[in-house]
Structure 1
């Protein structure tokens, strides 16, 4: 599993609100059973409530999604299915959001 890979949300009850999960865990920790993900929500659902620095907007196939960094979670790697896409091009925005949630800067 590569860092910044997007997976479809396997949870039917939350899939409409959070259709994708973004794997943010370092590739150096691939031996762990779990990985850390950030849920991605369509921009139209998040609206103005999203704090831009904390919740960067990411593009997947021409649609905008908000990374809800404040809702990051650890999940078992087994629940993640096939990779949808790679968002490594947003690395600096994602890392900045993680820095902001941890250190406030």
Structure 2
């Protein structure tokens, strides 16, 4: 499991609004049985400036919502749909805005 891998949301009830989750956790902590993820939506009305990052999945625009995070057991993240490492700088900037206020 790599940092910034995107998976089908394993929480079935949440898929309507957040169809995907993105693994934010560093691979240095692969020994943990959970992963820190943020949720991914295609609904721009729930994507906030500075803490959301536009990404593309299968040629469709989505928003990685840094303000909607959780920990999920890694064995529940099985349906890999892609990786958004190319958006790393924007993701780190959104993280900084959310948690550090910068």
TM-score, normalised by the number of residues in structure 1: 0.91
Q: What is the RMSD computed on CA atoms of the aligned residues? A: 1.1
Q: Which runs of 5+ in 2 are unaligned?
A: none
Gaps spanning 5+ residues in structure 1: where? none
Equivalences, count:
102
Q: Higher strand share goes to which structure?
A: 2
Deviating runs (4+, > 4 A) in structure 1? Answer: none
Secondary structure in 1 aligned to 2:14?
A: coil
After superposition, give the CA deviation of every residue in 1:19-78 in whole Å (9 maximum; x if it has no partner).
100001001000001110010000xx233x532321111111111111111111111111
Whole-Å separation in 1 of the counterparts to 2:52 and 2:59: 18
Matches within 5 A, 1:1-80: 1-42=1-42, 45-47=43-45, 49-80=46-77
* 1:84 has 2:70 as partner: no
TM superposition score normalised by structure 2: 0.94
Question: Take 1:82 and 1:70, find their aligned partners in 2: how far apart are those partners?
Answer: 23
* In 1, Cα distance between equivalents of 2:11 and 2:92: 26
User: Residue 98 in 1 paired to residue 95 in 2?
Assistant: yes
